[in-house]
Chains A and B, each alone.
Chain A
Amino acid sequence: MAKKRVVLTFPPELTEKPITYHLVKDFDLAINILRAKITPGEEGKLVLELSNGSEEMIKKGLDFLVQQGVGVEAVSKEISFTDEDCIHCGACTAVCQPGALQINPDTGRLRFEKERCIVCELCVPACPLGIIKVLF
């Protein structure tokens, strides 16, 4: 089963249309909203994970979005850090709202759950040791 993460940018006039509904209904895709910032009357951002369909259905769904005037960008970046340089201070966890970076309460060590990461990149400057990098 194909899976794809995308960042959608909605122009103000589109923020109130039920666009994601069409993705589910017309293209049979399962969507998982990773991050949303939509204020009526302003440009909106949505980070989605699309699954359930074939590569082809995902592509068709995304083409539909582009036709509607939605900006589509693939999330191809990835966060990585060198574990042996990590001091497990937890400063990066302060900015990680999806909880991808967490201090394990038992071991006290930093834990990174890639599946939860939306590549917002806030942790990059937040790490005082400068060991978090964005891979393209």
Chain B
Amino acid sequence: MARTKTYEEINEKIKSGKVTVVTAEEIIPMVKEEGPAAVLEKVDVVTTATFGPMCSSGLFLNFGHSDPPIKMSKVWLNDVPAYAGLAAVDAYLGATELSESQGAVYGGAHVIEELVSGKKVRLRAIAGGTDCYPRREIETMVGLEDLNQVYLFNPRNAYQNYAVAVNSTSRTLYTYMGTLLPKFGNATYSSAGELSPLLNDPYYEVIGIGTRILLGGGEGYVAWEGTQHNPAQKRNENGTPVAAAGTLAVIGDLRGMKRDYLRAAVFHNYGVSLYVGIGIPIPLLNEEIVRRVGVSNEELTATVYDYGVPRRSRPALGVVTYAELRSGKININNRSIPTAPLSSLYKARQIATELKERIINGRFLLTAPVAKLPFRDGVKPLREEVK
């Protein structure tokens, strides 16, 4: 029978300092040269990572009770509104929410970056006043050490794959895919390719609910399937999807995270977003898993869409490999288009290396998923009904 490994076996090796860990880039030539069986003998864990703009991110906070207490109905942090329709002093701050005083240059992501850097932010809240919560307003400064709970809960991160964006129109477009020059002047993409977590586990076999991960440089967990999780996307023969597919909802304590791996961003004429760094370990349990992490940029594809067409279904213009995207030029309809990334390969490598070192040093144990991510049909559109 072919060799297999268990989570327990790998964790024992981590504890006894005998584990072998390599990054998802380093494993590729090993699998190609030595084959999956030999690699499975040698290597226990592969680390994957990504560092890209992830709009669907945000922070839960509990401020603690003032004296006299207040049941906050509206909350602002550095003038950025946070959602307070929860218990008295709970709030959720979305990364893309904009400041009411500074507008499009400062938002929830900036507040998150300030907090993680150890800075205090101005909390302002108002309330209607009740018998048990008489206070009607409060204004004070809060930092990480003042809050009871302060954890990221990002409803959609770590997209399994994403679009390549081009612009067929004759004007420059400012999008969440960056600045798109007119008449196919450039193409932008946003995936770590062969280093990306879900491209290394295309069928969600080892990354599932409860998987311990590195989130923003601290420890976090996969909490749920991400919003718009779409396992039904068309796939290549090697199992990887050809366009946006699976996603993860992730959670982790902001204390313990680092500014290096959480950075606020402003996309010109579009809005604010948060660059989030995520690292996910993949235990090599069997040869099939080894084969999947051995897939390289030459074998991973992304679909090119025309962002000049502002519709839900943008026209697909072709399919390219990540190797082509990284080369700096792609060829679409006999046109050579220069490419540029939006997600940082440099940072993704740093995260994959940091996770590798934590595992080697026995500071990061692996977890088996508590439940698997669902594998069901696609994403529903929003239909407009008039009643």
Contact = CB atoms under 8 A, between A and B. Distances in A.
Interface in A71-96: 87-91, 93-95
Interface string B195-214: 00000000000000000000
A126 interface: yes
Interface stretch (A4-12, A23-31, A103-111): A103-111
Contacts of A95: 179, 181, 186
A130 B102 CA distance: 15
B178 interface: yes
A91 B346 contact: no
Interface stretch (B27-35, B238-246, B335-343, B364-372): B335-343
A94 B340 CA distance: 5
Interface residues of B, number: 33
A128 interface: yes
Interface string B249-284: 000000000000001111111000101000000000
Contact of B343 (A89, A126, A129): A89
Contact of A129 (B179, B185, B263, B338): B263
B169 to A, nearest CB: 16
B179 A122 contact: yes
Contact of A103 (B53, B275, B341): B341
A89 B342 contact: yes
B24 to A, nearest CB: 14
B258 to A, nearest CB: 13
A40 interface: no
B51 A91 contact: no
A90 B340 contact: yes
Interface in B73-114: 105
A125 interface: yes
A108 to B, nearest CB: 4
Nearest to B347: A87
A126 B268 contact: yes
A102 B346 CA distance: 13
Given A103-B341, A108-B345, A122-B179, A94 B186 contact: yes
Interface in B161-191: 174, 178-181, 185-186, 188
Contacts of B186: 94-95
B326 interface: yes
Given A128-B265, A128-B266, A128-B267, A94 B178 contact: yes
B340 A88 contact: no
A88 B345 contact: yes
Nearest to A130: B266
Interface in A91-136: 91, 93-95, 97, 102-103, 105, 107-109, 122, 125-126, 128-130
Given A128-B265, A129-B263, A108 B179 contact: no
A108 B263 contact: no
A105 B193 CA distance: 14
A93 to B, nearest CB: 4
Contact of A107 (B52, B273, B341, B346): B346
Given A91-B340, A128-B273, A103 B345 contact: yes
A87 B340 contact: no
Contacts of A102: 328
A32 to B, nearest CB: 21
Contacts of B291: none
Nearest to B261: A87
B369 to A, nearest CB: 30
A91 B187 CA distance: 11
Given A87-B275, A94-B186, A105-B326, A126 B178 contact: yes
A11 to B, nearest CB: 24
Contacts of A93: 340-341
Contacts of A126: 178-179, 268
A91 B266 contact: no
B149 interface: no
Interface in B110-158: none
B227 interface: no
Contacts of B185: 97
Given A87-B344, A108-B344, A125 B51 contact: no
Nearest to A107: B346
A102 B178 CA distance: 16
B83 to A, nearest CB: 24
Interface of A: 87-91, 93-95, 97, 102-103, 105, 107-109, 122, 125-126, 128-130
